[in-house]
Amino acid sequence: MKWLELLTVAGTTLISAAVVVTLYSLGVRFTAIAADAQQPSPGIKRSVAYVCFGLCGAAVLFGLYLIIPYFTK
Protein backbone atom coordinates (compact mmCIF):
# COMPACT_ATOMS: atom_id res chain seq x y z
CA MET A 1 0.00 0.00 0.00
CA LYS A 2 1.20 3.49 -0.75
CA TRP A 3 1.15 5.20 2.61
CA LEU A 4 2.46 8.55 1.40
CA GLU A 5 -0.48 8.97 -0.98
CA LEU A 6 -2.89 8.01 1.80
CA LEU A 7 -1.37 10.61 4.12
CA THR A 8 -1.48 13.22 1.34
CA VAL A 9 -5.18 12.61 0.72
CA ALA A 10 -5.95 12.60 4.45
CA GLY A 11 -4.05 15.84 5.02
CA THR A 12 -5.65 17.55 2.04
CA THR A 13 -9.10 16.45 3.20
CA LEU A 14 -8.49 17.74 6.71
CA ILE A 15 -7.21 21.11 5.51
CA SER A 16 -10.00 21.51 2.95
CA ALA A 17 -12.68 20.70 5.52
CA ALA A 18 -11.17 23.19 7.95
CA VAL A 19 -11.09 25.91 5.26
CA VAL A 20 -14.72 25.34 4.27
CA VAL A 21 -15.92 25.34 7.89
CA THR A 22 -13.89 28.48 8.65
CA LEU A 23 -15.24 30.33 5.63
CA TYR A 24 -18.81 29.40 6.51
CA SER A 25 -18.32 30.41 10.14
CA LEU A 26 -16.85 33.75 9.10
CA GLY A 27 -19.79 34.31 6.77
CA VAL A 28 -22.27 33.63 9.56
CA ARG A 29 -20.34 35.86 11.96
CA PHE A 30 -20.13 38.78 9.53
CA THR A 31 -23.84 38.42 8.78
CA ALA A 32 -24.60 38.62 12.50
CA ILE A 33 -22.34 41.65 12.92
CA ALA A 34 -23.95 43.38 9.93
CA ALA A 35 -27.41 42.81 11.42
CA ASP A 36 -26.45 44.73 14.55
CA ALA A 37 -28.19 48.12 14.41
CA GLN A 38 -25.33 50.00 16.08
CA GLN A 39 -22.73 49.28 13.41
CA PRO A 40 -21.73 52.30 11.28
CA SER A 41 -21.29 50.49 7.94
CA PRO A 42 -23.15 47.18 7.73
CA GLY A 43 -22.84 47.05 3.92
CA ILE A 44 -19.12 46.26 3.99
CA LYS A 45 -19.56 43.53 6.58
CA ARG A 46 -22.45 42.04 4.65
CA SER A 47 -20.33 42.08 1.47
CA VAL A 48 -17.50 40.28 3.27
CA ALA A 49 -20.04 37.71 4.49
CA TYR A 50 -21.28 37.11 0.94
CA VAL A 51 -17.70 36.75 -0.30
CA CYS A 52 -17.05 34.15 2.41
CA PHE A 53 -20.20 32.25 1.44
CA GLY A 54 -19.22 32.44 -2.24
CA LEU A 55 -15.72 31.09 -1.56
CA CYS A 56 -17.25 28.29 0.53
CA GLY A 57 -19.58 27.37 -2.32
CA ALA A 58 -16.74 27.53 -4.84
CA ALA A 59 -14.66 25.16 -2.71
CA VAL A 60 -17.57 22.70 -2.53
CA LEU A 61 -18.15 22.88 -6.28
CA PHE A 62 -14.43 22.36 -6.96
CA GLY A 63 -14.48 19.29 -4.71
CA LEU A 64 -17.45 17.91 -6.65
CA TYR A 65 -15.61 18.63 -9.90
CA LEU A 66 -12.67 16.56 -8.66
CA ILE A 67 -14.84 13.67 -7.42
CA ILE A 68 -17.25 13.22 -10.34
CA PRO A 69 -15.50 11.36 -13.17
CA TYR A 70 -17.73 12.84 -15.90
CA PHE A 71 -16.15 16.27 -15.53
CA THR A 72 -12.51 15.12 -15.63
CA LYS A 73 -12.71 13.22 -18.93
What is the count of structural domains for the chain? 1
Q: Comparing C-alpha atoms, which of 11, 26, 23 is closest to residue 60?
A: 23
40 falls in which pLDDT band (50, 70, 90)? confident
How confident is the model over 48-60, as a mean pLDDT? 96
Q: How far apart are CA 69 and CA 11, in angstroms?
A: 22
Question: Does the residue 32 lie in any domain?
Answer: yes
Q: Range of 20's domain?
A: 3-67
25 falls in which pLDDT band (50, 70, 90)? very high
Tell whether pTM > 0.85: no
Question: Does the residue 73 lie in any domain?
Answer: no
pLDDT of residue 12: 92
